[in-house]
């Protein structure tokens, strides 16, 4: 590769990165902060009543769900006497595989909720499209049990946005940016709630 062609390639790559970041900035500006604060109110309520939070998703959303558990159980809780209790339903691979193999992949989350869910708990469902069948099945079950439900979605919100009690909607048609901002909302909420709860320490 000549110096000229290498320079052109680098310019193209840099332009692609700048374009991606510009789109991400626009997506950030479209976040409805009221949606986020309503979800935070829900998390404060479940914390006060000693409930558990069950969170789950597929693919990139599964990794975001696991990241929530780390950030709330450790990051937000490490200085608190009473701690958050988050559980990620996609982290137990043997259980997920057994349910998918013996029953149906659509049942991998709802069947776990049948083991655990109590009225004081909260369910957080993450789906970029808002239409993942296994996620919808679990949220429907939670609502039948009169358990509060929170959704993190993208694109047009799909069926999940209409089904959940509260929702953070990233209004872009780009899965990568949706997943970026779902993780950013986790970090934002964890940071703000940590500071709020530390002020309440005796």
For residue 74, what pLDDT is reported?
Answer: 98
Which among 124, 133, 28, 23 is positioned nearest to 67, based on CA atoms? 124
pTM exceeding 0.75: yes
Tell me the helices (H) and strands (E) count for the chain, helix number first.
8, 5
List Cβ neighbours of 179 (8 Å cut-off, separation of 6 or more).
60, 61, 64, 128, 154
| 40 pLDDT above the threshold of 90 | yes
Give the sheet arrangement for strand 86-88, strand by strand: 86-88, 53-56, 122-127, 148-153, 166-169
pLDDT for res 7: 73
What 3-state DSSP class applies to 164? coil
Say whether pLDDT at 117 is over 70: yes
Q: Higher model confidence: residue 10 or residue 145? A: 145
């Amino acid at each position: 590769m000549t110096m000229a062609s290498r320079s052109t390639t680098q310019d193209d790559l840099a332009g692609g990165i700048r374009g991606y970041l510009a789109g991400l900035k626009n997506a950030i500006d479209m976040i409805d902060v009221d949606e986020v604060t309503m979800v935070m109110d829900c998390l404060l309520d479940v914390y006060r009543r000693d409930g558990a939070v069950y969170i789950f998703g597929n693919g990139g959303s599964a990794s975001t769900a696991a990241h929530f558990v780390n950030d709330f159980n450790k990051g937000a809780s490490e200085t608190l006497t009473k701690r958050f209790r988050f559980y990620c339903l996609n982290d137990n691979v043997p259980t997920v595989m057994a349910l998918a193999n013996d029953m149906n992949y659509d049942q991998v989350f709802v069947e776990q909720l049948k083991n655990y869910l109590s009225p004081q708990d909260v369910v957080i469902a993450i789906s970029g499209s808002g239409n993942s069948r296994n996620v919808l099945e679990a949220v429907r079950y939670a609502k039948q049990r009169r358990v509060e439900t929170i959704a993190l979605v993208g694109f047009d919100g799909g069926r999940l946005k209409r089904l959940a009690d509260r929702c953070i909607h990233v209004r872009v048609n780009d899965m990568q940016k949706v997943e970026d901002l779902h993780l950013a909302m986790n970090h934002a909420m964890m940071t703000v709630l940590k500071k709020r709860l530390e002020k309440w320490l005796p």
